[in-house]
Every structure is written in structure tokens, then in C-alpha cells.
Amino acid sequence: MDITIVGSGPNGLSAAVICARAGLSVRVIEAQPTAGGGARTLADPEFGDVHHDICSAVHPLALASPFFAEFDLPARGVTLAVPDVSYANPLPDRPAAVGYLDLERTCAELDDGASWRRLLGPLTADSHGVVGLMLGDKRSIPPSIPAALRVAPRLLAQGTPLWRSLQGEDARALFSGVAAHTISQMPSLVSSGAGLMLATLAHAVGWPIPVGGSQAIPDALIADLRAHGGELVVGEEVSSPPAGVVLYDTAPTALLRIYGDAIPESYAKALRRYRFGPGVAKVDFVLSDEIPWRDSRLALAPTLHLGGSRAQMALAESQIARGHHADWPMVLAALPHIADPGRIDRQGRRPLWTYAHVPSGSTVDMAETVTRLFERLAPGFRDIVLGVRSVPAAHMSHHNANLVGGDIGVGGNNMFSALTGPALQWNPWKTPIPKAYLCSSAAPPGGGVHGMAGYYAARTVLRREFGIKKVPALAP
């Protein structure tokens, strides 16, 4: 076996596909009984015809990331439904803020649409350049200098106290809800960068939802891996170093357990110092009907940011970073059936996906907190709840060992890791351990279902270990 990939998340599978297409023998090993990592879909234990997305549910980068753009999911039979509403923020005591695929429609409904247009209009017109910059190899000249010149002042403005330059409380909440996907304090350059990229994509290509569930994405990757001779092994935990070259789609700290004293001491110290960020508590609901929102426009929104105003979101993120639960936590929610009606079963039951931001390692069951928040914004919500599946942050690692303390960013959602990975080194996908490489969200460019950490790790391995200088074509 030429290459072993440990972990079958989107990054691990993207690396596996690239290496298999390069003509190498590849085996992917997954500890869980099902493959897909952060993009899996499983049946509800009580209502078997209702399926929950275990980690991610909505995929803004499924069409736009350079890896997936070339891999071409739609050409492989993955239907990506793009709704008219990319995301929305319910707001207490006033109309919601709604981010439509149509930029002008979004601006028309905001209190100060001109401010939103100034922020995102130029980026939307050059979305390819923006994504290339944000997900690019930061060691080289930006792929688009004009995009970099457009992004830089906006990044600084929305990542510093200058973020007040965005006018209107509704627009500020709309942007902050997107920026909060990083689960980091706001304002910060990390949250600003993610917010700009995701908000740009919301208007440029939309926020797609895979028909049938997120599992469709790893399934397409696995099919291509097998078509090129690769293997997938599930239900097997790696406890000692596999032979040959190994790429780890894992938390960096897993290397301490696998390699022990074989790790160079300076790198071992860096791994022992590695810090994971705040976590998420997962609360899945099974609903009998549509949510009775106060603002009827929300009925068209598959993705919702239920954090309240910008000030409330910033306060909540600051509180969880200090280890305290917020009275009004940031809650992300998804109703995939709005874009994919097939997610409604024959009895009319449908899934509601939510994450609540909490301190790292929280053992608190957030089901009641999330329910109360929905009830505040949609009176009568409790009446349509048929089932609740709650997983505290401390237990998130039971279904994905990478999510230490519930951190879905695997510790990578900070400026240092976004540039260097878990330790300061020129090539963040290579480790000082011979033939061992890192391809998880802990390596640049960080979290999200985009496959780019796997792409960069595979590119490094092909060059360094096998003398293959050109990444193989990925099109079907």
C-alpha cells in the first residue's frame, strides 16, 4: 500500500481521490461504522424515515471551492438544491434580516441596503477571486491581486472595531450571523474572513443543500476513490503507525497517541500545547409541521442564525470563550426540507438541525435552551416537536473523534492555525514525523466542507514522496 488515509471526512477523501487518480494504491481507514466524517447523514432512531445530518447540513463551498469545482459534484449525480434564501436572522421585536441569493433583493429589504451593497457587491462580482484568496495557499502570491485589494480593507473593517462601518442593525446582525460560523470572538480577522467569504457566496452561487442529505458528498468521493482502485475500511481505529506514507484527517493531538515517543520532542511539545476552541452542542428535532415564525419570510429560509443582534452575538461568543454559557447563545439552524422536500416523510415529519455554541467540553444538554429560543421567535414551536436528539459538546467526539470538546473547527479556527497549522513551519501539511502528513481542518485553510486541506496535503505528498509534480485531473 502506497498511502494510508486515517479518517474519512471530506478532506481525507479528497486527498484519497487525488492520490488514487495519480496511480497510487490508497487505503482509507475510518474508526466509525460509516464514512463521511463531518458530512454524514443517519436515520432518526425513532422515526426511521427522517434522516439527520450528523455534522454539516448546508454547504456554501460545495459548488465554489476549487477542489469541488473541478471534482464537479453535480456531474456525479449529486443534486445541490440552491434556495432563493441563503440564510436569515430572526430578530426580536422587529422584522427579520434576510440574505437572499439575489443581492439587490437583500439590499431592498434592509434598513440601509446601500451599506450592504458597498460591503459585498464588489466581492460578489469577483466571487471566484475571493474564494481563491480565502482558500488559497497562503505561502504564495494571491491568485487574484484585484480580489486581495478588495478583500483587505473589508477584512480589516469587519474584523476590528471599525465593523460599525456597516450600517443598520439588521445588516450588522445579518453579517455577524455568518461570521459566527467560526465560533470565535467578534470582531476578529478570522470571523471577518469567514463572514466575507460565506456572505459573498450567498449572493454569488447560493448556499446549496445536497438532496437526500450531506452523505451524498462523501458517497460521491468514495465512489471515485473505488473507481480508481482505492479501498475504504470502516469500523477500525488506528492505534499504531500504518506502514508507508500516512495522511491524517484527524485532530493533530491524535498523533501523540499513535506515535508516542517517536515524535520529535519539539513537535510533541507543540501538540501538547495545542488548544481546541469553544464547542457546539447538537440538538436535532423531528417536527410535525412548518415552524410558525413571527416573520413569515423565514418560512423560505433553510438556514437560520438565531443569535439575535450583533451585540448579543458578540457578547455570547465572548462568554463561551471565557468558559461561560451564554444566556442567549448563538444557535445555527437548518431546515433542509425547504430546499429538498424529499426530506419530509410520508407522515409529514421533517428534520430540524441545530448547533448551539457552548464552552469547550460543556456537558450541558442544550435542548431546552434551544427550544425556548425557537418559542420566543416562533410561538407555538413546542406544539410541532415530535422528537429531540440532544448531544452535549463533551459527547460530540463519540461520533467523530476530531471534535474534541465539541470543537467542530478541530482547533483550526484561529489566525495562527489558518496560516501554519498546529506548529510553526513553512509547509503546514507536513509533520516532522517521517512520512506523516496532516490533512484535517486543523491545517490550512481551516474548517468547512471544501476539501482544500486534503488537496494541499495530497499535493505535498505527491511531490515529496513520489516525485509527482502535477496534481491529476479531477473531472468525472
Q: How far apart are CA 161 and CA 81, in angstroms?
A: 37
pLDDT band of 420, cuts 50, 70, 90: confident
pLDDT, mean of residues 202-217: 98
**Sheet of strand 279-287: strand arrangement:** 97-100, 85-89, 303-305, 331-334, 350-358, 279-287, 385-391
Q: Check if the beta carbon of residue 177 is closer than 8 Å to that of residue 313.
A: yes
> Which sign does the torsion angle of CA 314, 320, 325, 329 carry?
positive
With a cut of 90, say whether residue 324 has pLDDT above it: yes
Structure-block grid coordinates of residue 339: 430546499
To the question of pTM greater than 0.85 for the whole model, the response is: yes
Write the pLDDT tens digit of every residue in 291-305. 999 999 999 999 999
Comparing 137 with 18, the larger pLDDT belongs to 18
With a cut of 80, say whether residue 117 has pLDDT above it: yes
**Chain centroid to CA 269:** 28
pLDDT band of 6, cuts 50, 70, 90: very high
pLDDT value of residue 64: 93
The domains of the chain, with CATH numbers, are 3-40+215-275+410-466 (3.50.50.60), 66-209+278-398 (3.90.660)
pLDDT value of residue 426: 84
pLDDT, mean of residues 4-10: 98
Write the pLDDT tens digit of every residue in 164-194. 889 999 999 999 999 999 999 999 999 999 9
pLDDT value of residue 125: 97
Structure-block grid coordinates of residue 221: 468521493
Q: Check if the beta carbon of residue 339 is closer than 8 Å to that of residue 83.
A: yes
With a cut of 80, say whether residue 412 has pLDDT above it: no
Share of the chain above pLDDT 90, in %: 92
Q: What is the mean pLDDT of the chain?
A: 95
User: Which residue, among 177, 87, 180, 91, has the nearest Cα to 376 in the 3D structure?
Assistant: 91
Write the pLDDT tens digit of every residue in 226-265. 999 999 999 999 999 999 999 999 999 999 999 999 999 9
Write the pLDDT tens digit of every residue in 38-74. 999 999 999 999 999 999 999 999 999 999 999 999 9
pLDDT value of residue 164: 85
Q: Check if the beta carbon of residue 65 is closer than 8 Å to that of residue 452.
A: yes
With a cut of 80, say whether residue 419 has pLDDT above it: no
